[in-house]
């Protein structure tokens, strides 16, 4: 159906603003969330064991380094697995289009019918796809399997983003121990700073993921508080 001049005018003036960096945001959330929580719990636990600020800082930095490497590697392997799965399915679908084209054409018709397209409307589409194997393959990957072609840089990008986010998050609860020599005072400052960071991070996470920002902020801060309290309590219990 042709687009009228009125519709063209509306499309010209209406620019939809969609957030398209979902994978990057997901990686940042994973890195910062764990970066804020794990070193925070570690520092609280060591404070509960009466360790000095220098020992807590040394152990915390070591944990942040190890955690960043571990989580970055995990992000790389996850993205690499997704890419491997996509290309494995791509090869299988390509073989099926060559060996059983009639079956694949019937699947195209079924997919279009599920979208409410009538036979007299989808038959030309099926015929056009059969004449264009690449378009046919792209159609099957997207609409039959629900798979999008992965960015070849995705694995390294994911590893880097998660690792850097983890380091940034981890330095927040450790920063008071860099300037305050007494571990007890540093712990109090670390709790205040980290809970504030968790509230801000939780609010931003809720905003970008479509959840209620205030609820997300409170939940994120609560999880961090529980983790640190548990670590502190366990350290005190072991010491006792």
* Residue corresponding to tokens 């629900």: 146
- Note the pLDDT of residue 228: 74
**What tens-digit pLDDT sequence spans the chain (240 residues)?**
444 555 445 445 544 444 445 788 889 888 988 888 888 888 888 887 888 899 999 999 999 999 999 999 999 999 899 899 989 988 998 888 888 888 888 888 888 887 777 777 677 777 788 788 888 888 888 888 888 888 888 899 999 999 999 999 999 999 999 999 888 899 889 989 988 988 988 888 887 777 788 888 888 888 878 877 777 777 667 665
Rounded Cα distance between 32 and 85, Å, is 28
* CA-based nearest residue to 140, from 169, 164, 108, 166: 108
Q: Which residue from 137, 87, 65, 149 is spatially nearest to 107, judged by alpha carbons? A: 137
In angstroms, the Cα distances linking 53 to 5, 46, 170, 182 are: 70, 9, 16, 6
Residue bearing tokens 């063209």: 8
Q: Structure tokens of 39?
A: 């070193």
What is the reported pLDDT for 10?
A: 46
pLDDT score of 12:
54
170 vs 67: CA distance, rounded Å:
9
Instruction: Locate the domains of the chain by residue range.
Output: 24-239
Q: What does the pLDDT read at residue 58?
A: 93
pLDDT value of position 238: 67
Q: According to the model, what pLDDT value does residue 33 have?
A: 85
């Amino acid at each position: 159906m042709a687009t009228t001049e009125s519709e063209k005018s509306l499309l010209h003036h209406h620019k939809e603003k969609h957030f398209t960096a979902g994978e990057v945001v997901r990686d940042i959330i994973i890195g910062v969330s764990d970066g804020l929580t794990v070193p925070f719990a570690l520092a609280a636990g060591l404070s509960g064991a009466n360790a000095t600020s220098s020992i807590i800082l040394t152990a915390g930095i070591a944990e942040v380094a190890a955690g960043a490497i571990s989580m970055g590697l995990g992000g790389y392997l996850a993205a690499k697995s997704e890419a491997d799965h996509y290309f494995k399915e791509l090869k299988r679908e390509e073989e099926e289009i060559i060996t059983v084209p009639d079956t694949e054409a019937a699947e195209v018709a079924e997919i279009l019918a599920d979208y409410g397209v009538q036979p007299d409307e989808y038959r030309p589409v099926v015929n056009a796809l059969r004449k264009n194997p690449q378009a046919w393959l792209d159609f099957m990957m997207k609409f039959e399997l629900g798979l999008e072609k992965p960015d070849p840089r995705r694995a390294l990008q994911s590893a880097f983003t998660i690792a850097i986010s983890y380091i940034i998050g981890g330095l927040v609860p450790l920063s008071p121990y860099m300037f305050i020599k007494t571990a007890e005072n540093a712990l109090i400052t670390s709790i205040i700073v980290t809970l504030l960071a968790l509230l801000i991070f939780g609010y931003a996470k809720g905003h970008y993921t479509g959840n209620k920002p205030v609820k997300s902020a409170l939940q994120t801060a609560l999880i961090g508080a529980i983790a640190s309290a548990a670590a502190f309590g366990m350290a005190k219990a072991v010491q006792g």
